[in-house]
Amino acid sequence: MRKRIIRYALIMLVSLLAFVFLPRPAPELPMTAEHHTKNGFRNQVGEMPGKSITKYLSMRLKTPHPNQKSNLHKVPVVAAAKPAAGDKKATWIGHSTLLLQNEGINVLTDPVFSKRASFSQLVGPARYFPPALAIEQLPQIHAVVISHNHYDHMDVDSIRQLAKRPNPPLWVVPLENARHLRGFGIPEKQIVELDWWQSHTMLDGKLTLTATPSQHWSKRSAWDTNYSLWAAFAIDMAGWKLWFGGDTGYNEKTFVEIGERLGPFDVGLIPIGAYDPEWFMGYGHVNPAEALRIHQDIAAKQSVAIHWGTFQLTAEPVHEPPLRLADALQAQQLPVESFTTMAIGESREF
pLDDT single digits (tens) 69-84: 889 999 999 988 788 8
pLDDT confidence of residue 318 = 94
Q: What local confidence, expressed as pLDDT, does residue 30 receive? A: 67
Q: Which DSSP string do the residues of 58-117 spell out, in sequence order?
A: HHHHHSPPPP-TTTGGGS-B-PPPPPPP-SSEEEEEETTEEEEEETTEEEEES---SSBS
Q: How many angstroms separate the CA atoms of 152 and 318, rounded?
A: 16
Q: How far apart are CA 220 and CA 179, in angstroms?
A: 12
| Burial class of residue 273, CB neighbours in 10 A (0-12, 13-18, 19+) | buried
Annotate 269-306 with DSSP letters as a single string.
EEE-----SHHHHTTTS--HHHHHHHHHHTTEEEEEEE
> Pick from 79, 59, 101, 52: which is nearest to 313 by CA?
59
The whole-number average pLDDT for the span 102-123 is 94
Among 82-86, 113-117, 175-179, the range scoring the smallest mean pLDDT is 82-86
What are the residues facing 269 on neighbouring strands?
A: 244, 304
Residue in 53, 34, 54, 26 with CA at minimum distance from that of residue 218: 26
Helix axes 252-262, 288-297, angle to 10 degrees: 30
Q: What pLDDT is stored for residue 222 in this prediction?
A: 81
**Backbone torsions φ then ψ of 95, nearest 5 degrees:** 55, -115
Q: Report the Cα–Cα distance between both ends of the chain, in Å, rounded.
A: 51
Q: What is the pLDDT of residues 124-133, one digit of tens each?
A: 899 999 999 9
Sheet holding 347-349, edge to edge: 191-194, 170-174, 143-145, 105-109, 97-102, 89-94, 347-349
Q: Please state the separation of Cα 72 from the chain's center in Å.
A: 22
Which range has the worst mean pLDDT, 45-49, 128-132, 164-168, 226-230? 45-49
Nearest of 293, 340, 286 to residue 316 by alpha carbon: 286
* Residue 326: strand, helix, or coil: helix
State residue 15 phi and psi, 5-degree precision: -60, -45
Domain 78-349 architecture: 4-Layer Sandwich (3.60)
Using CA atoms, how far apart are residues 264 and 241, in angstroms rounded to an integer? Answer: 8
Q: How many CB atoms lie within 10 A of CB 195?
A: 18
**Strand pairing of 207-212 and 105-109?**
unpaired
Q: For residues 102 and 87, give the distance between their C-alpha atoms in angstroms, rounded to a whole number.
A: 4
Domain boundaries, the chain: 78-349
Tell me the pLDDT tens digit for each residue of 132-144: 999 999 999 999 9
User: Per-residue pLDDT averaged across 199-205, rounded?
Assistant: 98
Task: Choose among 236, 199, 233: nearest CA to 213.
Answer: 233
Share of the chain above pLDDT 70, in %: 89
Quick: pLDDT tens for 265-320.
Answer: 999 999 999 999 998 889 999 999 999 999 999 999 999 999 999 998 999 999 99
pLDDT value at 152 more than 70: yes
Strand partners, 200: 209
337 close to 301: Cβ distance less than 8 angstroms: no
SS3 155: coil
Query: Range with the lowest mean pLDDT among 100-114, 221-235, 286-300?
Result: 221-235
Q: What band does 97 get if pLDDT is binned at 50, 70 and 90? A: very high
Q: Is the pLDDT of residue 58 over 80?
A: no
- pLDDT band, very low/low/confident/very high, at 6 (cuts 50, 70, 90): low
- Give the mean model confidence (pLDDT) for residues 149-173: 97
